[in-house]
Amino acid sequence: MSDDPRLYAVYLGGDPAPGRLTEDHEVVLVVAGNLAEARRRARAKWGGTTRPHVDAVRLVDVVDGFAVTLDPTNRLESVDVDLTYEPEESSPTVG
């Protein structure tokens, strides 16, 4: 990497898959030394079957008042994903 490694959140879009009217999207996290490298690394993580493009990139260095730091590890990726569906709470009734 050309610069110090930093964490980026990248919003990827993919061309519509055959039979679909709209694009697929996903957010991936990458560590990169600069914005151009972050874009390249994110496209390489695209899980869709069509060609990906980058819709947005955000440097993640502070979240909710906490600084985000990076420490090397021998693990490649985190694997924990919570797929619990939580529908919106219903609006209170006025009465």
Q: For every one of its 95 residues, what pLDDT tens digit does the chain have, with 9 covering 90 and above? A: 458 999 999 999 998 888 889 999 999 999 999 999 999 999 999 988 889 999 999 999 999 999 999 999 999 888 888 889 888 876 666 65
Q: What is the pLDDT of residue 30?
A: 97
Contact of 26 with 48, CB cutoff 8 Å = yes
Q: 62 by DSSP, 3-state: which?
A: strand
Q: What is the pLDDT of residue 1?
A: 42
Residue 13 φ then ψ, to 5°:
-125, 155
| Pairwise CA distance, residues 7 & 69, whole Å | 8
Which domains does the chain carry? 6-62 (3.10.20)
Pairing of strands 24-32, 52-59: unpaired
pTM for the model stands at 0.81
Q: What is the pLDDT of residue 88?
A: 81
